[in-house]
Amino acid sequence: MALAFSSCDGMFEGIYDEPVPEKQSEFGFKDITNVSATENTSAYSRGWLYVKTVDYTGWTYIDFESQMVGYAGVYDDYDGKWDIAIHRYEVKTNNGKTKRTAFSDFDNLLSQDHLEAGGYEADEWNEDRVAIDLSGILDYNVVFLPTYVSQVIDWVQVIYPPYPPTYKSHDKIFVIKLENGKRVAMRLENYVNNNGVKACLTIEYVYPFPLEEK
Amino acid sequence: MKHLLALIISLFVFEESHAQNADTLDVARNIDMDQVVVTATRTPRLLKAVPIVTRVIGNADIKRMDATNVGNLLESEMPGVEFTYAMNQQQQLNIQGFGGSSVLFLIDGERVAGETHDNVDYQRLNMGNVARIEIVKGAASSLYGSQAIGGVINIISQDAFKPWSVNVNARVGTIGSQRYGASVGTRSGRIRNTFNVLREKNNSIVLPRDGVFEEIYANNTWNFKDRLKYNPTENLTFTARASYFFREMESSKVIFNRYRDFSGGLKGEMKIAEGRNFELSYSYDQYDKSDYTLASRLDIRDYSNVQHSVRGLYNHTFVGKHTLTVGGDYMRDYLLTYQFANGGSFYQHTADVFAQFEWTLPKDWQIVGGTRFDYYSDTKLKHVSSKISFMKKMNSISLRGYYAGGFKAPSLKELYTSWNMQNMFMIYGNPQLKPEVSSNFSASAEYQHSNVNMLLNLFHNTVTNRISLIWSQLHNGMLYDNVNKVYISGLDASLSTRWANGLGGKVAYTYTRESVPNGEPLVTSTRPHMASLRIDYDRQWQLYGINASLTGKFFSATDAGEYTANTGFKEVEAIHYSAYTMWKLIVNQRICNAISVTATIDNLFNYIPEYFHTSSPATIGRTYSIGISMDIEELPFLDFFFVMRALSKK
């Protein structure tokens, strides 16, 4: 009780954690391991990609070859090289095609002899998936960006109503055939940062994806 | 051998006397008008003599229903009460047109800190060690101040009456629900202590049909509370209490929402002389919310409401029948929340004084008048609430009339919110808010005779300056603002009875009508007709007792208005909420007055909504549960053990 009197603004602050300060240097390509070719696989890089996509009004552009990350508004042109772009949890490819695998673990996937061939789908035109203005959400009045977007990559589903929305996620590996003919495989490890802020994506990737398709 | 024979006889005599007590209690339970209540006048009064209609859910009902939290219980026992899910799956209350922000919840007379979407965390109001719940419908701000517009619900804790008592209980259900509890009571000389712990676990439930929710999140709850009473003299009582509550809601695969409450208090009660009592109390309540991120294992607090309250209360009874009650409160209210700019905090001081006088006049007339002045430092708000009521007793009939003012001061959240809701839109507080005020009129007639109780209560409320969240073109976001006037009228009717053969029942009905001035949109989800029915059979033999009850709740359909456009929020469209009934069968068996086994079939007729609206019951259909409760000190073998030990000492 004495504690209560002495602390007008509450007690037991020590049982909670402090938010971890966010550093710009945390984002981008990290912890990349270059793996040499083996009998079954060609050489590839395996690593992590951290991107913050909290903004509804822009795309985050990613180029796996140069390991560069860029940003542009939804109505702006992006003049850099890019393979995929992410808006919140939606992904569009640069003339790529995508398929979902049954694997959630890269070690397991890479230990396979081959990847089953086919099953890739190109991005599709969509007018109600990429939300860019949610100020009228309580009236079901959400402004969407008509755009090509991958219908296959569904690693996070945002379901609303109710408000705030509910989130469903999975960590299945997607393989994308890029415009340059190479493939990248990626899976979503997490969609919140250490402090619980949503739309901060932790993605594990393998590039170029080494398994042959049969 | 003689000793053994005496022992066996003594055991049977003991059991029979217990059986008789239990039987008497059971017969009287539905209609026990001689129990003492405190909420309506802030002085102890017999239920039959209280000038304001008060409903009581007693300990026996709580046990019979095997209820875990106040929501289960109120909805089962009182028509007109509906708990639904608000955003983020927090429970929200509607009692005949009044939401959670207009109904004041108290634990032993003390306010409860913290809210989500204007509702307190009902899961922290657990039913372990509860003696009774007192419900006073209608405005009561002249005694309780802000928020007591639609009513006051006071949860009264149980004292330890025996030298020692230990209860352990458990319940498991078919959809993975589990509850485990224990209570320990001790009484020695001038000291009494009760300790209670309750653990509850509910798995996530995937709803079987489409709706605004796909699943109900899993919840894990811990609740501890302890209350120590010390009587240094016959006329002096000190009470110390402390409690801790923890709830974790598994709202996604990556983040769990956590809720904690720390509360404590000290109270001194002194009987100065016959008819003169004084009490002084200090209460502390801290309600926190945090997000636990599974990957980083960081538990980051983003909400804390801390309330320090001090109260003085004095009762003086003149010539044995007129009672003056005067008192005052001071509270420091601190709020830190993610909904303030930069996750900041605000605090304010509130103070009030109140006085009430109860005249007992000849020919069984009773008149009560009261007034209260409230002051809020932050907005410099000053408000006076008054009430006047009368009661006239005529043999078995009591007539009551009541006028009371209600008010709700703007909360710190409503004043200062500045929150970007998940990067979707802004929600703004409004420092210009005026208090919500109401005028409440009611008239009732109650008939009480032998084993029958009937009540008819008519009421009307005019609520002005209702505080609501609306779209603001000026701010291009949502804004807390005072909105249109609302009229809420209706009636409550109930009939309860219990017979010596063990049969009993209760039927209750409520009608509620909400309306607004012409041209204004009416946004409400209050169901106009609600009813409840209970038929039960209760018998107690020497070593065995049974209570079987069938309860049903009826909720009428309603067309709830929802805004359709954000251009001024003038247009509403009707969303149809279907009528439904929910039935529950409970069979409670008591063995040796020590062991109680309760089997429950909930949603007996397997009702599943066509579409899960927020106001639909979150049910997957018929469910089953079984619970056991054991009062260790009542176990017969303990008597045997103590007698044998006494004999061996001889």
Residues 84-123 of A with CB under 8 A from B: none
- For the residues A60-88, what does the mean pLDDT come to? 95
A190/B295 CB distance under 8 A: yes
Mean pLDDT of chain A: 90
Distance CA A190, CA A59 (A): 19
- The β-bridge partners of B582 are B553
- For the residues B557-574, what does the mean pLDDT come to? 60
pLDDT score of B246 more than 50: yes
B254/A164 CB distance under 8 A: no
- For the residues B93-100, what does the mean pLDDT come to? 90
Specify the pLDDT at position B574: 72
Residue A11, chain B, CB below 8 Å: the answer is yes
Q: How far is CA B128 from CA A63, B67, B72, in A?
A: 59, 9, 13
Q: Which pLDDT band holds residue A139 (cuts at 50, 70, 90)?
A: low
- For the residues B500-527, what does the mean pLDDT come to? 85
Closest alpha carbon to B530 in B552, B548, B506, B561: B552
Q: Report pLDDT digits (tens) over B185-203.
A: 999 999 999 999 999 999 9
Give the type of residue at B375. Answer: Y
Selected residue of B254, B333, B567 to mutate for chain A interface (largest A Cβ count, 10 A) = B254
Specify the pLDDT at position B4: 47
Distance in Å from the first CA to the final CA of chain B? 15
Q: What per-residue string of b and e applies to A5-34 under the rule 16 or more CB within 10 Å gives b?
A: eeeeebbeeeebbebeeeeeeebebeeeee
Higher confidence at residue B67 or residue B244? Answer: B244
Specify the pLDDT at position B44: 86
Q: Report pLDDT digits (tens) over B527-552.
A: 999 999 999 999 999 889 999 999 99
Residue A172, chain B, CB below 8 Å: the answer is no
Q: Report pLDDT digits (tens) over B317-358.
A: 998 889 999 999 999 999 999 999 988 999 999 999 999 999
Nearest neighbour of B298 by CB, restricted to A5, A194, A198: A194
* Interface predicted TM-score of the whole assembly (ipTM), two decimals: 0.84
Higher confidence at residue B309 or residue B567? Answer: B309
Give yes or no for a contact between B576 and B561, defined as CB atoms under 8 angstroms apart: no
A8/B296 CB distance under 8 A: no
- For the residues B389-399, what does the mean pLDDT come to? 93
Sequence-distant (6+) residues with CB within 8 A of A173 are: A100, A101, A103, A104, A106, A109, A185, A186, A187
To the nearest whole Å, the CA of A114 is away from the closest chain B CA by: 31
Distance CA B633, CA B165 (A): 5
Distance CA B475, CA B440 (A): 34
The pLDDT > 70 percentage for chain B reads 91
Distance CA B602, CA B301 (A): 37
Mean pLDDT of chain B: 88
Distance in Å from the first CA to the final CA of chain A? 71
Nearest neighbour of B255 by CB, restricted to A54, A56, A192: A192
Specify the pLDDT at position B143: 92
Selected residue of B91, B281, B293 to mutate for chain A interface (largest A Cβ count, 10 A) = B293
Residue A164, chain B, CB below 8 Å: the answer is yes
Residue with tokens 């619900």: B153
Higher confidence at residue B336 or residue B476? Answer: B336
pLDDT score of B9 more than 50: no
Selected residue of B301, B336, B563 to mutate for chain A interface (largest A Cβ count, 10 A) = B301
B306/A10 CB distance under 8 A: yes
pLDDT score of B421 more than 80: no
A66 is written with which tokens?
């140069």
pLDDT score of B14 more than 50: no
Q: CA B285 from chain center: how many Å?
A: 17
B2-29 vs B636-649: helix crossing angle, rounded to 10:
150
Burial of A137 (0-12, 13-18, 19+ CB in 10 A): buried
Residue A19, chain B, CB below 8 Å: the answer is yes
- Strands, E assignment, A64-173: 68-73, 84-87, 90-93, 97-100, 121-122, 124-126, 131-136, 141-144, 147-149, 156-159, 166-169
Residue of A nearest to B572 (CA): A139
Q: Which pLDDT band holds residue B460 (cuts at 50, 70, 90)?
A: very high
Give yes or no for a contact between A83 and A96, defined as CB atoms under 8 angstroms apart: yes
Selected residue of B292, B300, B424, B563 to mutate for chain A interface (largest A Cβ count, 10 A) = B424
Residue A136, chain B, CB below 8 Å: the answer is yes
Rg (CA), chain B: 25
Q: Which long-range contacts (CB under 8 A, 24 or more apart) does A112-118 make?
A: A112/A211, A113/A40, A113/A211, A114/A211, A114/A212, A114/A213, A114/A214, A115/A175, A115/A209, A115/A211, A115/A212, A115/A213, A115/A214, A116/A213, A116/A214, A117/A213, A117/A214, A118/A213
Give the type of residue at B167. Answer: N
Of B82-91, B214-223, B413-422, B535-544, which range is least confident?
Answer: B82-91
A17/B300 CB distance under 8 A: yes
Q: CA A201 from chain center: how many Å?
A: 5
B414 is written with which tokens?
């409503």
Distance CA B178, CA B645 (A): 38
Give, as one character, the DSSP assignment of residue B635.
Answer: -
List chain A residues with CB under 8 Å of B300: 16-19, 195-196
Give, as one character, the DSSP assignment of residue B343.
Answer: G
Q: Which of helix, strand or coil describes residue B184?
A: strand
Closest alpha carbon to B256 in B221, B230, B212: B221
Give yes or no for a contact between B407 and B433, defined as CB atoms under 8 angstroms apart: no
pLDDT score of B1 more than 80: no
A195/B296 CB distance under 8 A: yes
To the nearest whole Å, the CA of B113 is away from the closest chain A CA by: 12
Specify the pLDDT at position A162: 65
List chain A residues with CB under 8 Å of B264: 1, 4
Higher confidence at residue B77 or residue B33? Answer: B77
**Residue B266: its H or E element:** strand B255-273
pLDDT score of A146 more than 70: yes
- The β-bridge partners of A190 are A202
Give yes or no for a contact between A178 and A161, defined as CB atoms under 8 angstroms apart: no
- For the residues B506-517, what does the mean pLDDT come to? 92
Selected residue of A50, A53, A135 to mutate for chain B interface (largest B Cβ count, 10 A) = A135
Phi, psi of A196 (to 5 degrees): 85, 10
* CA–CA–CA angle B645, B636, B648 (5° rounding): 10
B293/A159 CB distance under 8 A: no
Distance CA B230, CA B235 (A): 11
Selected residue of B239, B259, B296, B307 to mutate for chain A interface (largest A Cβ count, 10 A) = B296
Nearest neighbour of A164 by CB, restricted to B87, B471, B477: B87
Sequence-distant (6+) residues with CB within 8 A of B324 are: B315, B316, B317, B318, B355, B356, B357, B358
List chain A residues with CB under 8 Å of B252: 166-169
Q: Report pLDDT digits (tens) over A78-97.
A: 999 999 999 999 999 999 99
List chain B residues with CB under 8 Å of A135: 424-426, 476-477, 566
pLDDT score of A208 more than 90: yes
- For the residues B66-75, what does the mean pLDDT come to? 82
B298/A20 CB distance under 8 A: yes
Q: Which long-range contacts (CB under 8 A, 24 or more apart) does B37-41 make?
A: B37/B132, B37/B134, B38/B109, B38/B134, B38/B154, B38/B156, B39/B106, B39/B109, B39/B134, B39/B135, B39/B136, B39/B152, B39/B154, B40/B134, B40/B136, B40/B140, B41/B143, B41/B323, B41/B325, B41/B356, B41/B358, B41/B368
Residue A14, chain B, CB below 8 Å: the answer is no
A192/B300 CB distance under 8 A: no
* CA–CA–CA angle B209, B91, B433 (5° rounding): 125
Burial of B478 (0-12, 13-18, 19+ CB in 10 A): buried
Residue with tokens 């009480």: B448
List chain A residues with CB under 8 Å of B614: 162
Residue of A nearest to B297 (CA): A194
- For the residues A128-154, what does the mean pLDDT come to? 85
Q: Which pLDDT band holds residue B568 (cuts at 50, 70, 90)?
A: very low
Phi, psi of B597 (to 5 degrees): -120, 125
Give yes or no for a contact between A8 and B334, defined as CB atoms under 8 angstroms apart: yes
* CA–CA–CA angle B524, B414, A197 (5° rounding): 100
- For the residues B222-242, what does the mean pLDDT come to? 96
Distance CA B620, CA B604 (A): 12
List chain B residues with CB under 8 Å of A138: 425, 471, 478, 563, 566
The pLDDT > 90 percentage for chain B reads 62
Distance CA A58, CA B550 (A): 58
Sign of CA dihedral B5, B10, B15, B17: positive
Q: Which pLDDT band holds residue B522 (cuts at 50, 70, 90)?
A: low
List chain B residues with CB under 8 Å of A137: 424-425
Distance CA B619, CA B554 (A): 15
Of A107-121, B77-91, B386-400, which range is least confident?
Answer: B77-91
